[in-house]
Each structure stands twice: as C-alpha cells, then as structure tokens.
Amino acid sequence: MIVIASANGKVGIRESMRVLKAGGSAVDAVEAGIRLVESNPDDHSVGYSGLPNLLGDVELDASIMDGLTLQAGSVGAVKNYEHAISLARKVMEELPHVMLVGAGAERFAKELGFPEKDLLTPEAEAIYRQIFEKKIPDVYAHRMKYLDSVKKWAHVAADPERPNETTNFIALDDKGNLATGVSTSGWSWKYPGRLGDSPIIGAGNYADNRYGAAACTGRGEMAIRLCTAHAVVTYMRMGMSIVEAGTEATRDLAYLVDPYFGGVNIIAMDPNGNHCAFSNTKDTFYVYMTGTMDDYIETPRVFVDTGDEGRKL
Ligand code: GLY
C-alpha cells in the first residue's frame, strides 16, 4: 500500500496511510488525507482559508475517482462548505450523476447535513485586499460585487503564479485498487463560477486500476485543454513507463497558445505502486509514504522544460 500527494498533502498523508493500514479502501484514504488539507488554515489554496474569487467569495472545487469501478464524483464553485472532497464522494455514491456545481452542490451538502462554515479567514481576506486591491483601482475594487461588468477586472487581476497550489492524493490499497482525489479553492481572483481542472474528470484527475492514475495541480485551464490526467494514463496504457508517460503529458503543454501560460504539476502512479511526479516549474516536490515507512518522504518532481510562454503562432 502506498499514498502519494502534492507537497501540501504533508498534513494529511499520515492519516491517509493510517486509514489504509486500518483496512480502509483507496477511496477512503484519499478522502481522509484531503480533508486535513482542506481544514489547514495555513493553506490558502484549498478548503477553509482558500483565497477568494474576484468578488471576495471563496468557491471550492473537488473530485474523486475510484480506479476499480471508474466511478467518479465532483463538485464545483461550492461556497460555505469546507469539505468539498467529501461532497464529491457523496455525489459519486449517492446520486446518478458525476458533477454538481454552485447552488445545486450547496443544496446537496445541506440535504446531507454537512455543516456550513464561512471559508474566508481574516488572513486570506488580508492577502486578497493587499494583492487584489493593488491591481484594481480602489473605486472598482471596493464595489466589485455591485458592478454590472467585471470581466475586464478578471484579466487585470489574473496572476499566473496563483493557481500553483491545490492538493491531490493518489492511494493504492492492499487489494490493488487505485483512487485519486483533488481539492482546491482554484485560481484566486477568478471570475465567479470559474472551474479549473480539479473537478473535471480526465483533466485534473483520473484513475483506472488497469493502467494507473494521475492528478494535476497548477494552472487548470491548461490541464483541461489537454485532458492531462487522462493523457498520462492513456500513455501508460499505450505501453510507456510512468516516467515516459508523465514527461510526454508535461511536454504537451508547450503546444498550448496561452497568454497566461503557467505551471502545471502532475503526480502519477502505476498499478504496481511505482510513482513519479512532474512539473514544468523547477524545484518542485511531492510526498509519498508506503505501508512500511514510519513517515512520509518529500522528493523532487521531474522537471520538464516547456519554456515559459507556450507556443507562439
Ligand atoms: N489546478 C487548480 C485550478 O486551476 O483551479
């Protein structure tokens, strides 16, 4: 048994492994680990204390996938519920659907008795005010919620460095089942309702016991356009090793024409528990922990140079 996660998954990976050792499934382990990241007030990219959208509201996205059944659940643009990953799991298990967004997802959370919580912490709000209001003239920044048109400000506020966090976990349980989970507050200062790759099955998250699993963090628009998580698994299906598959999927990013070209990071695992991670940003890390280890190890991702700007036409 083994769990891997993005570096900010350190706060949850021990719990993931505890769940696996206690006989829990890969899906249980992924959910348990991500819940702790979602509750971490020091992490401004996931769950409680995530950075808000253009209007100052925290909106969460998450998804989960079971490699045994290929069942998946996801939620997007959810306000006022901390554990988007658990809500995504409930969509997978209790509805005939894969994805719920916005008011429908919040209604479902309420129906299930999930506790409501104000997700915007004073610290996250202070970051929003300091950085966001520097980019937007005061006269607009303070009235954003009341303006009829805010699309111009979504461009002004956009910061390619900001979607780089998010958390993802992949677990392999003792029955040989894989599961993936991803949770995020998304690209800070985003246009309300914006979804990144995290809730999109195939873009930010994919698991198939037969071939492997992959999950992404970083600039979601890029992973959506290339179906990056599914691409890694498909490349493994075609016979590539995990290192070849992740390298190829990262290299694909260089073909994107994108004025906000940015960092995309991948974690991946094959059905035997071999794992690796990739990034087009230098000096990034991920964590892993096996059933025989006392604690996790942090280790570098493979850097794949895509240049900094994407393809020019
Ligand atoms: N990868 C997270 C996001 O783009 O929202």
Q: What is the pLDDT of residues 12-52, one digit of tens each?
A: 999 999 999 999 999 999 999 999 999 999 999 999 999 99
Beta bridge partner(s), residue 64: 73, 181
At 158 the pLDDT is 75
Q: The tokens of 256 are what?
A: 């994107």
- Measured in Å, residue 255 CA sits from the centre of ligand 1 at 19
Give the residue carrying structure tokens 């206690």.
22
At 137 the pLDDT is 82
Q: What is the end-to-end Cα distance of the chain in Å, rounded?
A: 46
Closest residue by Cα to atom 5, ligand 1, is: 186
Percent of residues in the chain assigned helix, strand, coil, to nearest 5: 35, 25, 40
Distance CA 121, CA 192 (A): 19
Domain ranges, ordered by start, for the chain? 2-311
At 72 the pLDDT is 98
Active site residues: 166
At 164 the pLDDT is 63
Whether ligand 1 lies within 6 angstroms of the CB of 183 is answered as no
Whether ligand 1 lies within 6 angstroms of the CB of 164 is answered as no
Whether ligand 1 lies within 6 angstroms of the CB of 6 is answered as no
At 150 the pLDDT is 85
- Measured in Å, residue 143 CA sits from the centre of ligand 1 at 26
Whether ligand 1 lies within 6 angstroms of the CB of 187 is answered as yes
Closest atom of ligand 1 to CA, residue 204: 1
- CATH number for the region 2-311 comes to 3.60.20.30
With a CB cutoff of 8 Å and minimum separation 6, the contacts of 174 are 1, 20, 291
At 239 the pLDDT is 97
Q: Chunked in runs of 10, what are the mean pLDDT values of the chain (313 residues)?
A: 98 98 98 98 96 94 98 98 98 98 98 98 91 80 83 77 80 98 94 96 98 97 98 98 98 95 96 98 97 97 95 93
Instruction: Give which of 181, 171, 209, 175 is closest to 17, Cα–Cα.
Output: 171
> For residue 98, what are the CA distances in angstroms to 15, 41, 168?
26, 29, 18
Closest atom of ligand 1 to CA, residue 217: 1
Distance CA 100, CA 111 (A): 14
Whether ligand 1 lies within 6 angstroms of the CB of 76 is answered as no
- Measured in Å, residue 85 CA sits from the centre of ligand 1 at 14
Instruction: Give which of 188, 191, 219 is closest to 124, Cα–Cα.
Output: 188
At 153 the pLDDT is 83
Is the overall model pTM greater than 0.85, yes or no? Answer: yes
> Which of 197, 205, 224, 258, when mutated, tests ligand 1's pocket best, judged by the most ligand atoms within 8 Å of its CB?
197
The torsion defined by the Cα of 134, 138, 143 and 148, in degrees rounded to 10, comes to: -80
At 142 the pLDDT is 79
- Measured in Å, residue 283 CA sits from the centre of ligand 1 at 19
